[in-house]
Structure 1
Amino acid sequence: MELRQLQYFVKVAKLQHVTKAAEELHVAQSAVSRQIHRLEEELGVRLFMQKGRNVQLTPVGQLFLRRAESLLTDLDRAVMEIHEFLDPEAGEIRLGFPHSLGYHIVPRVVSAFRKLHPHVKFRFRQGMYASLIRDVTEGEVDLAFISPHPEKNDLVTGEIILTEELFAILPDKHPLAQEVAIDLDQLKDESFVLFNPGYSLRSLVWEACLKAGFTPKIGFEGEETDTIRGLVAAGMGVSLLPEMALYQTSAMMPVIVKVRNPHVVRTIGLIRRNGYKLPTVVQMFHEFLLDFFQNEYTSR
């Protein structure tokens, strides 16, 4: 089995088209077809089946794709680690994070790090809680910011780097908009604007409402903090958002009110794969982040 065969196989699997794969690989279509055929003969299985003008993975082909991608990823990392060993300042860091950290924290820490190490490259991947855990454990990213920090997970390890308060956000005409602080149960009859299922902030708000003695009524759902904030400002309901999601100002801004009971916070963690030795440049960034949040970070 040759490396070239795996590379051709993965490209065809992703594009589901031999000709398009050949064009992207800058080789003849016959060369791609020949290498795929040799790979199937060596494995003794069919990896693709014809579907019109396209090709589609067989069930065993889908299984093999996961392994082939993992092998190629590990090989890429091995080559990169050699380059980083020779020159850590020319390395690449793959960083995952949830959408809610994309506006404030990630640009801030990356900018601060690149002032010290201007030639280091970054590759970013945004995702929800479960996908970030998966990206770390499968080696798709080196480090990931995540919220909440996972308390028990044998596959990842990490540290809580930040604890952040959540605030109620209300339309400016809401009867409680002039209050300095409220109890969450004062919103029990309101319609809530929440994140879609799968987002950790949705679970956090839901659990806070249950703790306050009521089940929130869902009026609208969204995927971005800007959407949640804008819908509340437009009078479509109320919600809870973390402090850093409220830094940005716009023409459509809700009123921000402190929640005194229950006190709602979220933890933000920095995780990595358990038992995995970080490449030199990633270890540099990891140490930088721990120092940054301990000694330099302020919420504003």
Structure 2
Amino acid sequence: MNLNQLRYFACVGRLQSYTQAANELHVSQPSLTNAVHRLETELNLTLFTHRGRHITLTATGHALLQVVQTTLTTLDNGVAAVIAADSQQPIKIRVGCIPTVIGTYLPKILHEFEQAHTRQITFELHSVTTERVLRGLAAKTLDLGIAAVDGRRPGVLYHPLLKQPFIVVVAPNHPLAHRPQLTLTDLLPYEVLTYTPDLLIGQKVQRTLTRQGISDQLDLKAVYPDEISIAGMVQSSTAVGLVADTLYLEAFDLVKVPVAVPEDLRVIYAMYRADNPQHAYLAELFKLFGQQKRK
């Protein structure tokens, strides 16, 4: 039994998928499968049950996963603390941020924080999707995440940064362009373009339309990955776009119309794991986010 086997098992156990774990760990699936099988053989334990391509942790697997996760966290935090104490280099905080926020006020705040902690802190900024932010936090390849999430995960601390409401975008000559506000039923005569359900934001749209009792009535085309692709299609057609109000839309010749929906489409949070070794710095950064929000 070695450290790699334990890390591989911890990742497979958390995701309960060899395919997803291999992608997250950047290893081949056969190598990952063989490593976990060797661990089971060495320990003489059955850690997973197999049903076709699906795997599920056994009760023994669950028990071992808790032990391994606790042990790896202790080890990683201890190693990070020793390195930080012995090193003259600044601590690097890895930040994963969704593209719609990365170019707004975030760089200014991070730069301000770096200036206040000269030679102590540096930031490594990555523009990634919400899904990759969440995976990075879970795998500890990211220290701080900036993304839109609906639910909260245990062991993760959250700070709300901004809210993006539902809006409708239409071409300037569209019949709805001069309306001060719209309801979802106003969209019934038109083709409605929105996000693919493969994305978390697309799933939020689908849930909202279902709760409003209009999901089956709309001529909905939910196949688009972002506001850019939706806006590009809308500005040269009679279709309407049901989207979040983001900076991406400013590049297009479109009219934005508020839509009466009793919830925001996207709430963007800063988040980090409570067991992160840089907890003190991240908590201080949360305070700075709060101060900026009040300005």
Query: TM range, normalised to the smaller chain?
Result: 0.5 to 0.7
8 A Cα contact 1:219 1:236, kept in partner: no
Q: Aligned to 1:176, what secondary structure does the other structure show?
A: coil
1:296 to 273, 276, 292: 292
Deviations 1:182-236 (A, max 9, x none): 1122113322222222322212222333344311433362223322222222326
2:35 to 61, 66, 79: 61
TM-superposed deviation, 1:256: 0.5
Residue type of the partner of 1:182? L
1:217 to 216, 219, 223: 219
Distance across 2 between alignment mates of 1:200 and 1:231: 21
Any stretches of 5+ residues in structure 1 without a counterpart?
17-47, 49-55
TM-superposed deviation, 1:93: 0.8
Stretches of 4+ aligned residues off by more than 4 angstroms? 1-4, 13-16, 62-65, 70-80, 86-89
Residue correspondence of structure 1 range 1-300 to structure 2 within 5 A: 57=31, 59-61=33-35, 79-85=79-85, 90-117=90-117, 120-124=122-126, 126-129=128-131, 131-151=132-152, 153-215=153-215, 216-219=218-221, 221-235=223-237, 237-243=239-245, 245-246=246-247, 249-250=250-251, 252-274=252-274, 276=275, 278-280=276-278, 283-292=280-289, 294-297=290-293
Q: Aligned to 1:182, what secondary structure does the other structure show?
A: coil
Deviations 1:78-98 (A, max 9, x none): 554434345697111112233
Cα 1:15–1:242 change in 2 (3 A) is: closer
8 A Cα contact 1:191 1:217, kept in partner: yes
Cα 1:145–1:80 change in 2 (3 A) is: same
Distance across 2 between alignment mates of 1:269 and 1:284: 17
8 A Cα contact 1:128 1:198, kept in partner: no
Residue type of the partner of 1:184? L
Cα 1:98–1:232 change in 2 (3 A) is: same
Cα 1:167–1:279 change in 2 (3 A) is: same
TM-superposed deviation, 1:257: 0.7
Distance across 1 between alignment mates of 2:242 and 2:89: 41
8 A Cα contact 1:95 1:123, kept in partner: yes
Q: TM-score, normalised by structure 1?
A: 0.64
Residue type of the partner of 1:57? S
**Number of aligned positions between the proteins:** 246
Distance across 2 between alignment mates of 1:92 and 1:289: 17
8 A Cα contact 1:233 1:254, kept in partner: yes
TM-superposed deviation, 1:272: 2.1
8 A Cα contact 1:149 1:160, kept in partner: no
Distance across 1 between alignment mates of 2:82 and 2:200: 37
Distance across 2 between alignment mates of 1:192 and 1:58: 43
Distance across 2 between alignment mates of 1:124 and 1:259: 32
Cα 1:289–1:184 change in 2 (3 A) is: same
Cα 1:177–1:248 change in 2 (3 A) is: closer
Larger deviation, residues 190-199 vs 262-271? 262-271
Q: TM-score, normalised by structure 2?
A: 0.65
Distance across 1 between alignment mates of 2:91 and 2:82: 10
Distance across 2 between alignment mates of 1:269 and 1:208: 20
Q: CA RMSD in A?
A: 4.0
Residue type of the partner of 2:200? S
Cα 1:178–1:109 change in 2 (3 A) is: same
8 A Cα contact 2:96 2:133, kept in partner: yes
TM-superposed deviation, 1:242: 2.7
Q: Which has the larger Rg?
A: 1
Aligned identity (percent) is: 19
8 A Cα contact 1:167 1:256, kept in partner: yes
Cα 1:164–1:72 change in 2 (3 A) is: same
